Structure 1
Amino acid sequence: MDFLTVPTVTFRSLYVFVVLSLDRRRIVHVNVTTHPTAEWTAMQLTQAFPFDTAPRFITRDRDGICGDVVCRAIANLGSEELVIAARSPWQNGYCERVVGTLKRECLNHVIVLNENHPRRILKSYLEYYRETRPHLGLAKDTPARREVEPPELGAAQRRPMAGGLHSRYYRAAA
């Protein structure tokens, strides 16, 4: 889990909370707020892992937001928290990489208007990220696993995704 900041058109900062599952590099949960608190973060963790789906470990940094409330929420989920060393983002490298990917491939190309705007943008981008975007760490597969389409299925077609920032290519019968 980690936070990233997004500037708005009015020069305010929005905070995006990201929860990543390491097994398939799957983004489990994303939400946006103008003012993150420990209570809000704990609620997001609870929403990210409903019905006893929490992982064995949750890795977090030493952000001041993650106080006793968040520690209790992680314990209530039945997970063990792994706190990385101070000023050591490489210890949470997968999540830091996802934060960079969200910025580079999506949020840096959009002028954010308000708090709901990045929610809509990220919802669309996450569909692309989960179903279409290849990941080298997954042998060029997607987190949702996809079948390779043989050329016999027809000509390649393009479907814009994430508001036209990215595309999905698929085979369609002629």
Structure 2
Amino acid sequence: MFTAEGIDVIKTPPQAPRANAFAERWVGTIRRECTDRMFIVGQRHLAAVLAEYMAHYGHRPHRSLGQQPPNPPSGATDLTTARVRRRPILGGLINEYSQAA
């Protein structure tokens, strides 16, 4: 499938976590923040949990970006009049906070 698209597949050596650091970082993050804290009861449940977490992951704060999401919202906000809205993710395991309109 990959060779038909002209993509070279590079196999990583076994038990070499630094060989594919981006994948290892993603797996570690999703385990620490999500699956290690839940009881997964089946493949369908796991797929639903991972889909919801991946939707959350794209706009959560990242430490390497100075606690900003990859695509931060633009504009300044007056914090004296702002109301905060909490939205639970994964049944409250993770919470997202945003400004209420």
Question: TM-score scaled to structure 1, two decimals?
Answer: 0.50
Spell out, residue by residue over 1:59-91, the C-alpha distance to the aligned partner (whole angstroms, 9 max, x if none): xxxxxxxxxxxxxx2212322222223421111
SS at match of 1:108: helix
Q: Name the residue aligned to 1:155.
A: 83
Q: Name the residue aligned to 1:172.
A: 100
Map of 1:93-104 to 2, 5 A cutoff?
93-104=21-32
Query: Does the aligned pair in 2 maintain the 1:149–1:170 contact within 8 Å?
Result: no
Query: Does the aligned pair in 2 maintain the 1:158–1:167 contact within 8 Å?
Result: yes
Map of 1:8-157 to 2, 5 A cutoff?
73-131=1-59, 133-143=60-70, 145-147=71-73, 150-152=76-78, 154-157=82-85
Question: How large is the Cα RMSD of the aligned pairs?
Answer: 2.1
Aligned length: 99
Q: Give 1:92 deviation, angstroms.
A: 0.6
Q: Give 1:139 deviation, angstroms.
A: 4.6
Q: Distance in 2 between matches of 1:164 and 1:155?
A: 20
Amino acid at match of 2:6: G
Q: Give 1:138 deviation, angstroms.
A: 4.2
Amino acid at match of 1:113: V
Bigger proportion of residues as strand? 1
Q: Give 1:162 deviation, angstroms.
A: 2.4
- Compare relative contact order (CA 8 Å, sep 6+) and give the higher one, 1 or 2: 1
Amino acid at match of 1:74: F
Runs of 4+ in 1 over 4 A off after TM superposition: none
Q: Distance in 2 between matches of 1:81 and 1:141?
A: 33
The percentage of aligned residue pairs carrying the same residue is: 29
Unaligned runs of at least 5 residues, structure 1: 1-72
